Amino acid sequence: MISSDKVKELRERSGISVMECKHVLEEAGGDIERALKMLESKFGGMASKKTSRATRDGIIEAYIHSNGKLGVLLELHSETDFVARNPAFRELAHDIVLHIAAMNPRYRSVEDIPEKIVVEERAVIEHEVARLKKPKEVTAQIIEGKLEARLSELSLLSQPFVKDPTKTVKGLIDEAVGKFGENIRVGRFARLEI
């Protein structure tokens, strides 16, 4: 029998329904950390099934830093107004604007990076790697690895989430998709700094 305190703790840490938390805790033998991992894999995988669904609602979240010299605007889309009005959805949007303020991503995803920028970044990396005087195959692998890392730095969705670097911003959104049961998508965002 799983105690109500454990169910409550898992519910608070995961944001998943009480019944789902109770069920997963029973499967995990009462181990909260194991239950959290099970929930993450279950609800993270749910996100890929929902990506084709239209996001016609959502909110615009704003953040102005206390010194008044940095601001962020973000569109966060959901499928329904019901989710858009949910305080947990608003908290997700706020967390993402704080991340944008701190990490200054230039593009939403790696796929959104213009080819011109990719070519420029590749040229810089090729120049750096050429000085290493490694064999051709090794050089090619180093260039691809560094390019992938650099493009991830420029992309909001692939950046490690500032509040929990063990997950990416996309991972954070995928968890929210699992919790809410509907597609969530980052739209446009702008970061202004004086």
- What is the pTM assigned to this prediction? 0.71
Token couple for 185: 């998508």
Q: How far apart are CA 9 and CA 21, in angstroms?
A: 9
Token couple for 78: 């959901």
Q: Is 64 helix (H, G, I), strand (E, B) or coil?
A: strand
Q: Per residue of the chain (194 residues), what is the pLDDT tens digit? A: 788 888 877 776 666 666 777 888 888 888 888 887 887 776 655 444 444 556 678 999 999 999 999 999 999 999 888 989 999 999 999 999 999 999 999 999 999 999 999 999 999 999 988 888 888 888 889 999 999 999 999 999 999 999 999 999 999 998 898 888 888 999 999 999 99
